[in-house]
Each structure stands twice: as C-alpha cells, then as structure tokens.
Amino acid sequence: MKDETKEMILAGLGCLLVFSAYLWYQKHKEGYQPDPQFPQEVPTQQDSTTTQPTSSPSGSTASQDSSTNTIDQPGPSDQTGQPVLTAGTDNTWQLQLVESTQADILLGDHIKSELGFKAELILDPRSAALKQVLLSEYKYKVTDEQTGYPVMAPADDLQNRQRFPLQLGKLKFKGHSQQFNLAVNCWKASPLQTDSAGNQTAKFTASITAGPDRPICDIVKTFHCYRNSYEVIFDLQFINRSRQQLQVESLEIFGPQGILREDPRSDRRRGAVAAYWLQPDQPKVSRESVSLEKESNRFKEFEKPTGMPLRWFGVTNKFFAVIMRPLPSENQQQADFLLGGKVSVEALAMGLPDKKGQRKPTPSTITHLFMPQPLSAQQNEQSFSFAIYMGPIDRDVFEADPILFAENFRQLIYSGGCFCSFNWLTLLLLKMMKLTYQLVGNYGISIIILVLLVRFCLHPISKKGQINMMKMGKIGPKVEELKKKYGNDQKEFQKRQMELMKDQGMAGGMILGCLPMMLQMPIWIALYTAVDANVALRHHGLFPASWHWLTDLSAPDRLIPFSTFGINDPISIPFLGSMIGDLDAFNLLPILLFVAMFLQMKYSPQSKMSNASNPQAAQQQKMMMYMMPVMMLLFFYSAPSGLNLYIMASTFAGLIEQHFIRKHLKEQDAKEAAMTVTATSKIGGKLGPKKRKPKPPKKFM
C-alpha cells in the first residue's frame, strides 16, 4: 500500500501545483502591476483653476491651450500651472469663453421605473462632459436601498488636473498654428429636449471666432439618452461659418474612465480593452495595463495590428464595461475618423465613493479625431458619432442585441483561460442555475440543487468506488504479504497484485475510488468561471442582505469585513498573494469547507485501510489528511462564495452518501455471511457421513 499512497499523494500535489500555477498566471497575466499610491487629499482642477473671461479692446474673448496658445510659445498660467484664458486680437482666432453658473444637467434616471432608462447621465456644464453615470438596475453595495451603480466618474492625473469622461482637449486645424483647449469654460448649454418617445437630448456649443463679426467654427457636442437601451449616442458636429475651408487636423478626446474595482481577489480594472477587426469573423481583442508606480508604465498606446481598423475601446472591471464605438457614416462600413485608428490608456487617480479623501488608480482611454475631408466654406457641417455602451458584461444582453452581438462584445466575458475549463460545460451550468432560479427564486438554493443533481448522476460510480475501497481494506494484509514476497521485483509484484484484485472482483482498482473526485474537478473549474464573473449572481445570495453573510454568491462571504481595508483597499499576504488573493474580510465558508474536506479524508475507507495494514502508509495518510484541507482552504479562501458553497455542500453530501453506502454494504455483507453459514449447515446435514448404529451384542448359545 505504500506505493499506492505515494502515488496518490504525488497526484494530489501535482493537481494542486497546476491549480496554483493557474491562479498565479491569471493574476500576473496582461502585465499586472500593484496598485499605486496616491496623495490622499488634493485640490481638484475645478476648485482651484476656475478662470474668468477677459475682454479684449474689441470686446471678443480668446482661449489659451492647456500648454500653449500657439504651437511654439507658451501661454500664461496660474499658480497651479493651469493655463489662463487670455484675450486675442482681430487677427487671431479666439475661443469664446462662457462663464457657466448652471447646475448639473441630468439625463435618464438612476432608479428603475416605468420610463425604462438604463442609466442616469450627470453632465457638467463647464466641460460639457460626463460627471458621473449611474446604472439604474444595480447597486453599489448589497446593503444599499436604492439603485445607482457608478460606472464613470472624474479622475485626476499626476499634476492633479481633473479630467471628465468624454471631455475634449486640444483642437488644431490644418494649416493653422493655434491650438484651442476645449476642456472647460467655453461651452454654452441648450435647453434639455425630450421627444415624443421620452428619449432625452442635451446639447452644448463652443464657438471659435476671429473677431466680433467674424465667426470661424462652431463645435457642437450632443448626448442622446434612449429608453430601454444601454447605449448612449455621442455626437460631435463641426459647422464651418468662415469663408474658407476648414479641416480638423487633431482633436483630443478623453474616453471612458473612472470604473470601480469589483473583485477583492485581484483588480481586473488594471487595463483597458480595444478591439481591432480585419474581417467580421476575425476579431482581435487587446488589453493594456498601466500603473502610476512606474513612470514608464503610466501611459501606453495600444499596439495597432497592421491593416486592422479600430472597432471599439473602453474600460472594464469584473462585471461592468464602458465601451466607446465609433459609428461609420451611411456610405461607410467602418469609421475612419480616428487619427491613425489608435487609442491610448493612461492611469489616473480617482476618489472612492465610500472613502472621502482617499484615491485609487483607474484606467482611462484617450483617442484623437481628425477630419478626413475638409469642410467647404459657409455653413457646411460635418458630424462624427460614437455609440457608448454602459452596462453589465452579460452574455444574455450581448446576444439579445443584434449590434452588440455582431460587434462580438462577448469577447469581454471573462472565460478564465484555463486549459481544462470547457466552455460548453460552463454554459450548461449557467443554464441549469438560471432554470432552477426561475423555479425557486434563490441562486444559493439553485447551487445546492445543482449539487444534488450532480451527486445523483455520480451515485453509481461513487457506490462502485466505495465497494472497491472496502474490498481494498479487506485484501490489505494479502497485499502486504505480496510486497514482502516480491518486494525486489516490482514488475512481478504489480502483476500479482492485479491478479489478486481481479480475483476479488475489483475492476478498476483504486482508480474507481478517486473517479468521483476526478469527475468533479472539471465541474468545479467550470462553476468557478460561471460564478466568478456572472453579473446575474452579483448581490444575489443564499440569505437576504439584512443577514450580512452569504449575500453575494459572486464574492467571498465576508462574515466580518475589515472596516479599515475593504474591497478597494485589501491587504495582500506575502508569498501567498497569488494563491489566496487579497483579503478584505474574514470569510467563514472556506473554514467550513476545510472542515468538510478534513472529515472526508479522515473517514475515507482508504484511511482505515492504511491504519490497519501499514503503519508507514498510515503516517503518510495522516499527513495528507491535514495537508489537503489546508491547501483547499488557501486556494478557495478568497474564491466566490457560490463556488465554496457548491464544494462544501458537495463534500458534506458525499460524506452522507458514503455513510449510507457503507452501511448498506455492511448490511449486505452480514446477510451474505448469514446465508453462507445457513447454507453450509444444511449441506453438511444432508450430505455428511452418517453415524453407524452400534451393533447388538452377539449371543452365545
């Protein structure tokens, strides 16, 4: 038995090593960098750099670029280093300044209602950009009473300059030396519009002039918010009001940013995503990671494959995505107005909703627009449009929308990337969970039902394995005799052992005993993929939110949260980070899983067999009995509670099943033994030798 035990231990350690390497690979792929540290309290650009328009002798106003008024000469700046808007002359193009005191503009709704808006857009009138986006179907925390999950927010760069999502930056016209900063203080808001279908539109206009009576160009930003849609349409319109041709050489566009961290185990926001397509059926999805810890890794440009146009780009976390998709014109198949078809990603510092004064890194995206064809003189206009998806990473949503399906947004779904994870099995488990959820209304109970179904299907194999393991216990002494007799001839020993097991009717040997566990492993891995990144399970638990335990099956159970850390600021244990992940709470469910695994190892037939036949094997088995549960505790401590619930319930169900199978087998053996004794006594009575009657004594006469 010594060799079999060694082989079993080595096999178990090999599986654990492979799984550990897989977890390490998942955490360190895509250029993982640790979270940078930011200053805790910094004044924002809007608070510290508010500028007032300055009038020129002619009554017009002008704007300096964020770094220059012309290409070669720097403009004046205030104490924070932010450019000051200054006046120009009639011979200079000027960006007209607007001192906006208007309140934030709201589109849509952050509460799920009959209006059917999927999100609320909060627009900043000074920058004509998004101040925040709140999804109406999701909460930030499971204990929140109202919906309104923030997917986009302002953030600061290293110079503490505030940046908004969909804010415009430097604008330069071809053949003109000046640059114009369209970031703030140049936008005039139009009244909010609502059409007959209830869809809402917000419009902002900025103007460039060459004097009081010489308009050059109007730039119009428009946001269209539609009911029952996760997409918002963002339009940029250029209207030529001059007597000459105009052509935009470059316009800086700050794309999606400010998405929150969702995974306590590892931060999946660390990069941005972009898709390049050569053919509709040949997508290439790239991801880039950035970090403020390293100067060289703070800003990256996506490597654009040769001949492959940019189809969409954005930022994602574990459950949500904000994707910006340039829309082609009516006569085009692919949008061609992004400069070089390129997009960059930069790390910014973002404030946390639940921790005032503390900031954490967040990825942001940057692209540049250019005008392929010039605008002819006098009132000619040209528009460029983007569709912006702001919603969950959900297969059902992507497959229900023909456009999102055609754009292959399914590439955003986290698949785990494990070589032993079968996509068909993951989809099957998802469908089974959703089906049972529709019946019982609780995903925790759905997972327990799934355990019972899997155990029922594996029961014949489990029973056969238990029979083999009990028979192995009985022939243990005979195997030890074979070891002593053929210890030096391993080949002969294995041959004799196989003959002995065959004589005892043990087809499959010890492999059958381990087969149920081996069949469960692919299910565990597929379930990890199905539960870990399944937004349908987010904030759905076995118990209601008021219980504060097992309220979110897609995250650890968090019985006792670490109030000083939390999901946005977890702690990492040295040398165990890749195995156990970051910690943000004390989790009880992995402890219960440890207990279940320990009891399973302790009361397994093999353990009793080793104790009875081989003291050395018993010692090894005892070591394995402690080591295996400890390894499981480390691996699954920060795993989703849905996965831990499945494995724990399956292990306890296996213990109960094992108890009844062994009880049934013992009763069967007792009956067979009783029948054998009865049959032997009857056969002996009928066929045994008859006793001779004593002969009567002879009479002598």
Beta bridge partners of 310: 276
Quick: pLDDT tens for 402-451: 999 888 898 888 765 444 457 788 888 888 888 999 999 999 999 999 98
> Are 53 and 21 part of one and the same domain?
no
- Rounded CA separation 361/129 (Å): 21
The 3-state DSSP class for residue 189 equals strand
| 149-158, 567-576, 657-666 — most confident range | 149-158
> Are 611 and 651 part of one and the same domain?
yes
**C-alpha angle 576-578-584 in degrees, rounded to nearest 5:** 75
What residue numbers bound the domain in which 343 lies? Answer: 45-139+147-412
Q: Are 6 and 620 in contact (CB under 8 A)?
A: yes
- Checking if the pLDDT of 16 tops 50, the result is yes
Quick: pLDDT tens for 332-342: 888 889 988 88
Please tell me the least confidently modeled range out of 5-14, 404-413, 649-658: 5-14
> Are 21 and 166 part of one and the same domain?
no
Task: Using CB atoms within 10 Å of the CB of residue 126, give its burial: 0 to 12 exposed, 13 to 18 middle, 19+ buried.
Answer: buried
Quick: pLDDT tens for 484-509: 777 677 777 777 777 777 776 665 55
> Are 459 and 370 part of one and the same domain?
no
DSSP states along 209-245: ESSTT-EEEEEEEEEEE-TT-SEEEEEEEEEE-SSS-
Specify the pLDDT at position 370: 94
DSSP states along 292-357: SSSGGGSEEE--PPTT--EEEEEEE-SSEEEEEEEEP-TT-SS---EEEEEEEEEEEEEEETTEEE
Please tell me the least confidently modeled range out of 99-113, 288-302, 312-326: 288-302
Could you tell me the two tokens for 239?
A: 């209207």
Tokens 């989790």 correspond to 587
pLDDT band at 582; cut points 50, 70, 90: low
| 21-25, 52-56, 60-64, 577-581 — most confident range | 577-581
Residue 694 lies in a domain: no
> Are 488 and 560 part of one and the same domain?
yes
> Are 263 and 313 part of one and the same domain?
yes
- Rounded CA separation 493/482 (Å): 6
Sign of CA dihedral 263, 265, 271, 277: negative
Beta bridge partners of 105: 123
Residue 671 lies in a domain: no
Specify the pLDDT at position 564: 56
Specify the pLDDT at position 281: 66
Phi and psi at residue 161, to the nearest 5°: -90, 125
Name the pairing type of β-strands 200-209 and 193-194. Answer: antiparallel
Q: Are 390 and 253 in contact (CB under 8 A)?
A: no
Residue 278 lies in a domain: yes
> Are 10 and 90 part of one and the same domain?
no
Between residues 580 and 185, the one the model is more confident about: 185
Phi and psi at residue 314, to the nearest 5°: 165, -160
- Rounded CA separation 251/326 (Å): 14
Residue 20 lies in a domain: yes
Task: Using CB atoms within 10 Å of the CB of residue 592, give its burial: 0 to 12 exposed, 13 to 18 middle, 19+ buried.
Answer: middle
DSSP code of residue 654: H
- Checking if the pLDDT of 9 tops 80, the result is no
Beta carbons within 10 angstroms of residue 60's beta carbon? 22
> Are 555 and 519 part of one and the same domain?
yes
Beta carbons within 10 angstroms of residue 541's beta carbon? 24
Residue 680 lies in a domain: no
Specify the pLDDT at position 54: 35
> Are 17 and 57 part of one and the same domain?
no
Residue 674 lies in a domain: no
The 3-state DSSP class for residue 412 equals helix
Beta carbons within 10 angstroms of residue 90's beta carbon? 15
Residue where one domain finishes, among candidates 373, 396, 412: 412
**C-alpha angle 208-210-214 in degrees, rounded to nearest 5:** 95
Tokens 């050569």 correspond to 278
Beta bridge partners of 360: 350
- Rounded CA separation 8/442 (Å): 38
Residue where one domain finishes, among candidates 630, 648, 663: 663
> Are 453 and 490 part of one and the same domain?
yes
Residues with Cβ within 8 Å of residue 358, at least 6 apart in sequence? 40, 351, 352, 569
Beta bridge partners of 254: 366
The 3-state DSSP class for residue 151 equals strand
Residue 701 lies in a domain: no
Q: Containing H/E element for 96?
A: none
- Checking if the pLDDT of 23 tops 60, the result is no
The two most distant CA atoms of the chain are separated, in Å, by 174
- Rounded mean pLDDT, 25-49: 40
Between residues 266 and 12, the one the model is more confident about: 266
Q: How many domains is the chain partitioned into structurally?
A: 2
CA distance between the termini of the chain: 78
Residue 513 lies in a domain: yes
Sign of CA dihedral 480, 484, 485, 487: positive
- Rounded CA separation 147/150 (Å): 10
Describe the crossing of helices 423-440 and 443-474 by its angle, rounded to 10 degrees.
120
pLDDT band at 78; cut points 50, 70, 90: very low
> Are 181 and 329 part of one and the same domain?
yes
> Are 12 and 126 part of one and the same domain?
no
The 3-state DSSP class for residue 383 equals strand
Beta carbons within 10 angstroms of residue 259's beta carbon? 27
Quick: pLDDT tens for 679-698: 665 555 555 555 565 666 65
**C-alpha angle 183-189-235 in degrees, rounded to nearest 5:** 70
For residue 350, what is the domain's CATH number? 2.70.98.90
The 3-state DSSP class for residue 160 equals coil
**C-alpha angle 565-569-575 in degrees, rounded to nearest 5:** 95
Q: Are 533 and 318 in contact (CB under 8 A)?
A: yes
- Rounded CA separation 128/237 (Å): 14
Specify the pLDDT at position 101: 75
